[in-house]
Structure formats: structure tokens, C-alpha cells
Structure 1
Amino acid sequence: NLLVPTCIHWSCDDVANWIEEIGFPQYRLCFTTNLIDGRKFILINASNLPKLGITDFDHILFIAASVRDSLGIEKPYWNRSIADPASSPMGSFLDIKSRTGPTIDKLTYSQFIRGVY
């Protein structure tokens, strides 16, 4: 599990602290009001930041890139072929970990890679 980003285990306060640390303290309330914890943090991207109340386009781009950096995932390629896999193995694992439930809670990256879940 060394490859799995620790941010998936963050509390709402941890995420709010992160947004302040990257230079956007004005958005702390956007994240706490919407109860964005580590699991929901996985789902943050440029298209859903306005739903949280973040509407400055430059801020959206920077925050979305910072989320991807924190998660260790690549920027989506706009010209990707439909024949390509949906995302990297880590991206697919994080999509699953964004859900809740006892099975998902216990799922490790190595189990996911082996298909044991």
C-alpha cells in the first residue's frame, strides 16, 4: 500500500487544511460545508468545483491540478481513444475507494491489483 496516497484517509478538517496550504483559505468553508473528506476528495475535478462554490477559472484549474498531484494521477487527455483503458490502475482503485462500505473500507491496492475483492 505504499503507492496509495494518504490523502484518501483525510478527515474534512484535513482537506480544509490542505486547501489553505495550497493558498486558498477563502475556500475552506466550501470544502467543510460540503463535508469533503478524503474519499470525496478523490472525486474532485475541474467540472465539480463550481458545485462547491469555486467559480474562478484560474483557481479551478490550479486546485484540480493540485488534487491530481496529491493523488498521483495524470491529467485526463482530451484526445484519448475510446479503445484506451478508462484510467490508470491507481485511478481505477481510487474510483472504487471513493465509495463506502465494509468491503471497500478493507480493500487494499494489492488486493485490487490481484482482483481479490
Structure 2
Amino acid sequence: MDAFLHWSCQDVAKWIDSLGYPQYTACFTGNFISGKKLIYINCCYLPRIGITDFEDMKVISHHVRELLGIEDPLWIRSIALPPRDKRGLYLEQKSQTGQRADSLTYAQFLRDGNN
């Protein structure tokens, strides 16, 4: 389910290459973007790692969200909106380092009321 969380920087670079963006593989490896760090990759973050073409940013961000199986987070949210995507919240916790994050399962996340 979450095999991408174990991807190395090189695995992420291969995935970016497979999407048709070989020119950006160095951006991901040079910035140490592993599978756990993909949760942070969106149109706001891509320029920080050297990707500034707006159309490419939209496509890459879409593919990252598709891979993760989550909606694009809305950083400015109204309280009238429904709660955030549970899978996205889970992946944010999994993106952390340490034994707790490494051992956390989606079932535990839901059971412990982290949503």
C-alpha cells in the first residue's frame, strides 16, 4: 500500500524520469527527496528544489498526489469545509523519522483517533 514510503532518492528520481521529466531527476536527488518526503512535494515546494516551469509543476504535483492517493491539501481552509483527507494526515505522520512513524500503520492511525 505504502511501498513508495521506502523509496530512496534514486527511486524517486527513476519515478520522475518515468513520468517523462528526466531533466528534474537531479532536483530530487540533489535535495534528498525520498519516498517519505514526497508528501511535501506540491506546487509551493517544487520551486525550492529547482523546478520552476509552471506547467511541469502542475503535472508533477498531480502525479505525486495520485501516487500518494490523497487530495491536494488546502493550506487556507475554511472551518466550513469537510475535514482533511485521512490518508493525507496519515502520510504526514509517516513522513516523519523515528520508530513511531516507521511502525505506524493506517489501521493504528485510525484506531488511535489521529484523524
- TM-score, structure 2 as length reference: 0.89
Aligned length: 114
Structure 1 residues 12-64: Cα deviation after superposition (integer angstroms, max 9, x where no partner): 11100000000000000000000110111111111000000000000000000
**Greater RCO, 1 or 2 (C-alpha within 8 Å, sep 6+):** 1
2:53 is the counterpart of 1:24:
no
2:23 aligned counterpart, secondary structure: helix
Q: Distance in 1 between matches of 2:113 and 2:77?
A: 29
1:84 to 58, 81, 84: 81
C-alpha RMSD of matched pairs (Å)? 2.1
Q: TM-score, normalised by structure 1?
A: 0.88
Give the 3-state SS of the residue equivalent to 2:40 in structure 1.
coil
Distance 1:79 1:42, change over 3 A: closer
Percent identical: 50
2:82 is the counterpart of 1:96: no
